[in-house]
A and B are shown apart, each in its own frame.
Chain A
Amino acid sequence: MLLKTLSEARGVSGNEAAIREILLPAVEPFIDEHRVDALGNLICLRKARRERVAGGSERVLVAAHMDEIGLIITDINSDGSLRYAKVGGIDDRTLLSKQVLVGEKAVPGVIGFRPIHLIGRGGLEKKADISQTVVDIGASSKESAARLVQVGDYVTFRTGFEVLAEDGLRCAKGKAFDDRVGCAVLVEALQGDYAFDLYAVFTTQEEVGLRGARVAGYRINPDIAIALEGTVCDDLPKEKDADVTPVTQLGHGPAVSYRDSSVICDKNLVRLITETAAAEGIPWQYRRSAVGGTDAGALHLVREGVRAAVISVPCRYIHAPVSMVSLNDFDNAVRLVKAVLTHLEGGLEA
């Protein structure tokens, strides 16, 4: 299963090569050209397979980012433990008591915490002081640690992919669903025959400021851009059972953004997407929040501006060491993206 392979692969922002090496063979049978640009974006072209409709789109860019949030080693302490910094948006509080893999050699390590027995009265009510934590690879000295890892090594969570149930919601747990789900959807979408040149771009450095998409968009200068994402799902019961937005709900279908913090999506493109979903009988939901940015934020601002939208697979516990998706949502996202690309052949209402 490609999603499993992608989820378990390791590619923190700025270090996406391993993901590229999985994706390229996966898409190679379906593409006519590809290139890796200066920022590491994997840009794939599938030329039009059918005749272009007059007034239809010529170049459509669909992006999914390869990078994931993680950590980076900043120093090796004299006792062989490793200091680290966060790469991308991580809630400190999720770092305690986790297994990680360090550097190219995937050296295993752990992030522990002070034993509960040594935490005084009232201590449990305070936020854990993350600056006290280190990555422990079992090395007992700086020299010994330096034989295994080095400063600048990227660190990923050691979390396996697993399908929790084969029926019902068909939930799967794993890491880096943001945005390996998008990558996997894009690989599927690339296999359709469309009447325009489809640029499938597997982008880099989304989590540190949408940087890959920006330069890829500039190069391609598309008519239309769609970002595929794994997105926030906040559908757990709330404090005092507050009746507020879950942003998205697991199992309710792919999410269509009207806006997020980085983009106000093109209204006609959003309408085309939602009407396509309705026409094809594909369940969908709005992404009901303005928080978070996506590659669409960078893509819609390249050159003279590009009409852009976002289609996402809801992910519970996004940006945590383990998150959850519904494979039903994933399958429906694939159906929706393919159908949308087909409907785009006639162009987009101005």
Chain B
Amino acid sequence: MDIVGLMRTLSSATGISGYECALAESVRQAFQPFADEFSVDTLGNLIALKRATRPVAGVRRSIMLAGHMDEIGMIVKEVKDGYLRATDVGGIDFRTLLGQEVVVHGVRDLPGVIGARPPHVLAATDYEKPVPWDQFFIDIGLPADQVSELVHVGDLVSLRREFIELAEGHVSGKAFDDRAGVASLAVCLEQLSSLQHSWDVYAIATTQEETGLKGATTAAYGINPDIGIAVDVGFGAQSGVAEHESIRMNAGPAIAIGPNVHPKMQARLMAVGDLNEVPYQKEVIPGASGTDGWAIQVARAGIPTAVLSIPLRYMHTTVETLNVKDIERAGRLMALFISGLDEAFAADLGL
């Protein structure tokens, strides 16, 4: 699989939380060759089903894989004198917004910039504090009357950033959180197509993770899988972040350890990695993982859940950076894990 190409496609598409439907089509195309059927639920989750290739008679078991397709963005809250004021959807450090380019999804898509007042006119004290939220303006370079016609309060604003390739297999762009997870599901499905598996696989590109794990909550209830894995991004080692706060780049997905994770799921994933020489690392998450896994785990009567993290630098900025090898490793680890699922493991989990 051309993971770089897939990431380029997924990163370039727009899908702010709650408005993922245009993006879902790109995801469907990525999953299409490897899936048996598709459905979209009421919250917009894109659900791809790959049926078991060697089903066990009399039992029908399934695993749910979740990677969220929504991205952070902004929403217009005021149109003022031809400029737009906006607020964030999903957690943006607004200090990273000065001098960013955006697309305003008004009557039509309108490119714009978030302006910074020039240093020439700033007082020395201005530099010592961040620009206040209400002094951020989106400028689409149109006369005020035209702006009022084309843009309205509530219109979405996505961050605009071209996907680029860096050295040593690193790539950078926007919305890698969590299109990287979605890409790893595609890799997993592709790998499974040359493996046998006894359980049905639901690969789900979930919605509204950034605004409270909404998509995963309803998808897990609707599908009611036997087990689940959430793939999200983790804090990759970077300048300004201590070693104990981060996981290593290009060292494989991190398998989470903590209350969000069923210990036997975590142990099996590590065993599969060790056996097949898939590099992985361990990440201790002492409470809420902040991933879809947190919702899946408590769906209906409870679901044994694991969480994988793909190392990502500069999370929630427009220059999120990762190594595509880690996406491949996450996908492969899940595929190998799935092909080994059997009734003994189900029994072990108490299913």
Measured CB to CB, the residues of A under 8 A from B are: 77, 79-81, 89-94, 96-99, 107-119, 124-129, 132-134, 136-140, 144-145, 148, 158-160, 162, 164-165, 168-169, 171-173, 232, 234, 236-237, 239, 247, 251, 289, 291-292, 316-324, 326
Chain A: minimal CB distance from B249 (Å): 7
With A and B bound together, what is the CA distance between A152 and B319 in angstroms?
Answer: 24
B314 touching A112, Cβ below 8 Å: yes
Chain A residues with CB under 8 Å of B249's CB are 140
Q: Cβ of A112 and Cβ of B321 under 8 Å apart?
A: yes
How distant is B312 from chain A, measured CB to nearest CB, in Å? 9
B95 touches A96 (CB 8 A): yes
Interface of A is mostly: loop
List B contacts of A77 (CB < 8 A): 239
B-side contacts of A119, CB under 8 Å: 93
> Are B141 and A173 in touch, CB under 8 angstroms?
yes
Q: Whole-angstrom distance between the alpha carbons of A112 and B173 in the complex?
A: 11
**Any A CB within 8 A of the CB of B91:** yes
In the complex, the answer to whether B92 meets A116 with C-beta atoms within 8 Å is yes
In contact, B95 and A93 (Cβ under 8 angstroms): yes
Those of B223-267 within 8 Å (CB) of chain A: 235, 237-241, 245, 249-250
B280 close to chain A: CB less than 8 A: no
Contacts A112-B313, A289-B121, A324-B139 hold; do A97 and B116 have CB atoms under 8 A apart? Answer: no
CA distance A119 to B235 in the complex (A): 12
Which of B92, B93, B94, B121 contacts A291 (CB under 8 A)? B121
Q: Check B80 against A237 for contact (C-beta < 8 Å).
A: yes
Q: Which residue of B lies closest to A323 (CB)?
A: B113
How many whole Å from B152's CB to the nearest CB in chain A?
18
Whole-angstrom distance from the CB of B33 to the nearest CB of chain A?
A: 30
21 contacts between A and B (CB under 8 A): A93-B95, A93-B116, A96-B317, A110-B164, A110-B166, A114-B241, A129-B240, A138-B166, A138-B321, A140-B168, A148-B167, A165-B141, A232-B118, A236-B139, A237-B80, A239-B132, A239-B135, A317-B113, A319-B120, A320-B98, A322-B113
State which size class the interface on B falls in: 35 or more
Count of A-B residue pairs with CB < 8 Å: 223
Residue of A nearest to B94 (CB): A124
- Are A113 and B167 in contact (CB-based, < 8 A)? no
The yes or no answer to B36 lying at the interface (CB within 8 A) is no
Interface status of B301 (Cβ within 8 A of chain A): no
A320→B250 contact, CB < 8 A: no
**Whole-angstrom CA separation of A202 from B116 in the bound complex:** 27
Residues of B within 8 A of A144 (CB): 167-168
User: A81 near B101 (CB under 8 angstroms)?
Assistant: no
User: Which residues of chain A are near B77, meaning CB under 8 Å?
Assistant: none
A291→B119 CA distance, assembly (Å) = 10
- B residues in contact with A124, CB < 8 Å: 93-95, 130
Is B60's CB within 8 Å of the partner chain A? no
Minimum CB–CB distance from A286 to chain B (whole Å) comes to 16
A124 to B334, CA, bound (A): 37
Contact at B130–A96, with CB atoms within 8 Å?
A: no
Residue of A93, A109, A139, A316 near B98 (CB, 8 A) is: A93
Question: Does residue B142 face the partner (Cβ distance < 8 Å to A)?
Answer: yes
- Do A292 and B95 touch across chains, with their CB atoms under 8 A apart? no
Given contacts A91-B116, A236-B83, contact A97 B167 (CB under 8 A): no
Q: Which residues of A contact B313 (CB under 8 A)?
A: 112, 136
Give min CB distance, A199 to chain B, whole Å: 28
Say whether B111 faces chain A, with CB atoms less than 8 Å apart: yes
Q: From the candidates A115, A292, A326, name the one contacting B241 in the complex (CB within 8 A).
A: A115
The yes or no answer to B161 lying at the interface (CB within 8 A) is yes
Residues of B within 8 A of A98 (CB): 99, 318-319
B240: contacting residue among A94, A97, A127, A132, CB under 8 A: A132
Most chain B C-beta atoms within 10 Å of own C-beta, residue among A98, A115, A138, A159: A115
Judged by a CB distance under 8 angstroms, whether B140 is at the interface is: yes
Q: Tell whether A118 pairs with B241 under 8 Å between CB atoms, given A96-B95, A138-B167, A168-B146.
A: yes
| B137 and A237 form a contact (CB under 8 A) | yes
CB distance from B133 to the nearest CB of A (A): 10
Residues on B with C-beta less than 8 A from A118 are 235, 241, 245
Known contacts A81-B239, A91-B116, A113-B317; decide if A138 and B168 are in contact (CB<8 Å). yes
Instruction: Closest A residue to B161 by CB, please name it.
Output: A99
Closest Cβ–Cβ distance, residue B251 to chain A (whole Å)? 10
Query: How far, in whole Å, are A111 and B137 apart by their CA atoms in the complex?
Result: 22
Contact with A along B82-121 (1 / 0, CB 8 A): 0100000001111111111100000000111101111111
CB distance from A10 to the nearest CB of B (A): 15
B134 CB contacts on chain A under 8 angstroms:
239
For B237, the chain A residues whose CB sits under 8 A away are 79
CA of A127 to CA of B166 in the docked complex: distance in angstroms? 29
How many Å lie between the Cα of A136 and that of B97 in the bound state? 19
User: Does the CB pair B239–A92 fall under 8 Å?
Assistant: no
Beta-carbon nearest neighbor of B318 in chain A: A97
Partner of A232, one of B91, B120, B316: B120
Min CB–CB distance A86 → chain B (angstroms) = 10
Shortest Cβ gap from A142 to chain B (Å): 13
Could you tell me the distance in whole angstroms from the C-beta of B212 to the nearest C-beta in chain A? Answer: 15
Interface: B207 (CB within 8 A): no
Q: Is B305 an interface residue (CB 8 A)?
A: no
| Closest residue on chain A to residue B171 by CB atoms | A138
| Residue from A91, A234, A321 with most neighbouring chain B CB atoms (10 Å) | A91
Q: Which residues of A contact B127 (CB under 8 A)?
A: 91-93, 127
Of all chain A residues, the one with the shortest Cβ separation from B314 is A112
CB distance from A322 to the nearest CB of B (A): 5
Residue from B120, B170, B317 in contact with A138 in the complex, judged by beta carbons closer than 8 Å: B170
Closest A-chain residue to B95, C-beta based?
A128
Q: Are B167 and A165 in contact (CB under 8 A)?
A: no
